[in-house]
Structure 1
Amino acid sequence: MATMTVSLPGPMKDWVEQQIETGAYASSSDYVRDLIRRDRERRDQAMTLDELRQLVADARASGESDESVGAIFDRAKAIIRSRGVPRG
């Protein structure tokens, strides 16, 4: 495994140490690996700007919907949940 040295301001270092003290992580390296893993997953799930533009273009081209706004939001929420996108 490769080694990387990271410098953190005091409050961030304290935060990492608190996470280790809770027993959730074995070491600072374990904590940072988990953060990187989560970030990669989040980025893999994120839409690119081009994908978003295409989605908007497709929506405009499809015309008006007979669905209610509430039904559209419910469908969108279901899609988000199915993708495992964290709420934020």
Structure 2
Amino acid sequence: MAQKPTSLAEPAREWIAQRVATGAWPSSEAYLNELVERDRIDTERQAALNAALDEGDASEDCGLSIEEIFAEARKRNLGAKA
């Protein structure tokens, strides 16, 4: 298991303390845990996007215009707000 960080630069400590003081986060640990989780999700999304782009680059021409492609993407993703 990776070692837990024990110190942060002063600007980072001040920022976290401000966020906790406003009530946005119950503790510095909760704030840092949320940042790590967001980074994990962003990394997974970026990997999925890169895989989709690689798949698209490797595929043949689908015969659709760019307008048709965007219309299909909008239709497919209307309810996918994650």
When normalised by structure 2's length, the TM-score is 0.66
Deviation at 1:77, TM superposition (A): 5.2
Q: 1:64 to 1:6 in 2, by over 3 A?
A: farther
**Given residue 65 of structure 1, which amino acid in structure 2 is its aligned partner?**
L
Gaps of at least 5 residues in structure 2 are: none
Q: 1:48 to 1:82 in 2, by over 3 A?
A: closer
Name the SS for the 1:5 alignment partner.
coil
Aligned residues: 78
**CA deviation string 1:21-60 (max 9, x = no partner):** 11011111111111111122222223264442112222xx
Q: Distance in 2 between matches of 1:6 and 1:80?
A: 43
Q: Which residue of 2 aligns with 1:37?
A: 37
Aligned-pair identity in percent equals 26
Higher-RCO chain (CA-CA 8 Å, sequence separation at least 6): 1
Gaps of at least 5 residues in structure 1 are: none
RMSD: 2.9
Counterparts of residues 9-88 of structure 1 (less than 5 Å): 9-46=9-46, 47=48, 49-58=50-59, 61-66=60-65, 68=67, 72-76=69-73, 79=77, 82=80, 84=82
Deviation at 1:63, TM superposition (A): 4.4
Deviation at 1:18, TM superposition (A): 0.8
